[in-house]
């Protein structure tokens, strides 16, 4: 019965009557939003090749290992089958998946059904542009052999399923700084190992 449910909600949250007038009331809440009622976030990012191979996965909502495999399997089936002239949105299991194909790769983001689709679509493009700049005309091979770089870059763009930086320049600068940190450390390591090697000769 409707009434009971409402009362239960009211009783459990201290700001009781905030239910009234919230936007969630307007568009209807998705019961299956299993993580947070009010989270309008990217639940995961998925890169799959045309052959259905996974090139990157990043989960911002807690999916178990089993769920992850299931999601990938189901979603590749849905997205790879879509025609080139179709729209970039797929309604899928109570969520929406915004995707875009670049050459042989499909970039997918799973969002809530009432989130802003086009905005997320351009986050994908933003990500691709940054990688393009970093690798110099990025291709699938770059992402295969340097998959860890893709993760570094993604971490500078998204946190908690939200956009953290929309300036390409800033992201590029941070990634370069990280790279040089790693390199310096390695040079040091190798010079130390040379010293040790020489000393123990």
For residues 138-177, which are near other proteins according to CB under 8 A? 142, 144-149, 151-152, 155, 159-160, 162-170, 174
Task: Build a one-symbol-per-residue string for 12-31: x at contacts with other proteins by CB under 8 A, - elsewhere.
Answer: ---xxxxxxxxxxxxxx-xx
> Within positions 74 to 103, which residues make up the interface with other proteins, using CB under 8 A?
82-83, 85-91, 94-95
CB of 195: closest distance to other proteins in angstroms?
Answer: 16
Residue from the set 49, 55, 102, 132 that interacts with other proteins by CB under 8 A: 55
The nearer residue to other proteins, 80 or 178, going by C-beta atoms, is 178
What token pair was written down for 108?
A: 């997918």
Region 99-128 residues binding other proteins, contact defined as CB under 8 A: 113-114, 116-119, 121-123, 125-126
23's tokens = 């936007």
Minimum separation from the CB atom of position 3 to other proteins (A): 2
Among 35, 104, 176, 191, binds other proteins (CB under 8 A): 35
Q: Where are the alpha helices (DSSP H) in the chain?
A: 2-12, 23-27, 65-80, 117-135, 140-145, 147-157, 168-199
- Residue-wise DSSP of 32-69: T--S-TT--SEEEEEEEETTS-EEEEEESS---HHHHH
| Cα distance between residue 24 and residue 11, in whole Å | 18
């Amino acid at each position: 019965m409707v009434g009971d449910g409402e009362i239960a909600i009211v009783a459990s949250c201290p700001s009781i009557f905030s239910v009234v007038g919230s936007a969630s009331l307007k568009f209807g809440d998705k019961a299956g939003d299993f993580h947070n009622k009010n989270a309008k976030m990217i639940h995961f990012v998925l890169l799959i090749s045309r052959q259905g191979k996974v090139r990157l996965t990043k989960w911002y909502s807690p999916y178990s290992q089993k769920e992850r495999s299931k999601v990938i399997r189901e979603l590749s089936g849905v997205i790879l089958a879509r025609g080139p002239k179709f729209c970039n949105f797929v309604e899928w299991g109570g969520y929406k998946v915004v995707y875009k194909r670049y050459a042989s790769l499909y970039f997918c983001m799973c969002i809530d059904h009432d989130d802003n689709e086009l905005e997320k679509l351009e986050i994908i493009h933003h990500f691709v542009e940054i990688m393009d700049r970093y690798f110099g005309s990025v291709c699938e091979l770059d992402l295969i052999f340097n998959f860890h770089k893709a993760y570094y870059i993604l971490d500078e763009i998204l946190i908690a399923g939200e956009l953290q930086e929309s300036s390409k320049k800033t992201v590029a600068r941070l990634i370069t700084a990280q790279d040089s940190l790693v390199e310096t450390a390695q040079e040091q390591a190798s010079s130390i190992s040379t010293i040790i090697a020489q000393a123990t000769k």
